[in-house]
Amino acid sequence: MNTPTIEKLEPLAAPLQGINLIEASAGTGKTYTITTLFIRLILERNLTVDTILVVTFTEAATEELRDRIRRRLRETLTAFEQGKCNDDVLAKLIAQCEDRNDAIFRLTNALRGFDEAAILTI
C-alpha cells in the first residue's frame, strides 16, 4: 500500500485534477489555499461553480468558506477588469491568463451562479 506524502500545498502550483486534501492547524492558510484553488479551477479548467465540491467539517467553517470564496471571486474579478493589482497571487493569475475577457466572463458567471456552489459540511 502506498503511503501518502505530506507536503506543503502551493495553491498556484498544485495540480487541478483529482482530489486535494487540505488539513492543517488553525491559521496556516487552509482557507486561502482553498479559495485560490477554487478560482484556478474556474480560470484554468473552465469549471463552473456548480461542478466544484468543497467539503469541511463544521457549519461555521462552511459559512466562512462560502463567504471567503465569494469575496475572493469579487476581488479576482475586479483585478482582472483593471488588469493589475497589488496582490501577488492575483497578479500571477492575470499574467498567466491568455484571454482576460474570457476570464472576466467566467468570473462574472461564477459570481452570478455562486448560490449553486457545493460548499458543504460532512
Report if residue 10 sits inside a domain. Answer: no
d(CA 80, CA 107): 9
Task: Judge whether 6 lies within some domain.
Answer: no
Residue 19: per-residue pLDDT = 73
* Pairwise CA distance, residues 56 & 108, whole Å: 25
pTM of the predicted model, to two decimals? 0.86
Axis crossing angle, helix 59-82 with helix 100-112, rounded to the nearest 10: 150
**What does the pLDDT read at residue 39?**
97
Count of domains forming the chain: 1
Query: Among all chains, which residue has been given the C-alpha cell 448560490?
Result: 115
Structural domain harbouring 86: 30-121
Decide if 94 is inside a domain.
yes
Question: Is 14 inside a domain boundary?
Answer: no
Taking only the tens of pLDDT, the chain with its 122 residues reads 566 655 666 788 787 887 767 776 676 667 888 899 999 999 999 999 999 999 988 999 899 999 999 999 999 999 999 998 999 999 999 999 999 999 999 999 999 999 999 999 98
Reported as type and span, the H/E element at residue 88 is: helix 88-96
What's 78's domain CATH number?
A: 3.40.50.300
Q: What is the pLDDT of residue 2?
A: 64
Q: What's the pLDDT score for residue 12?
A: 84
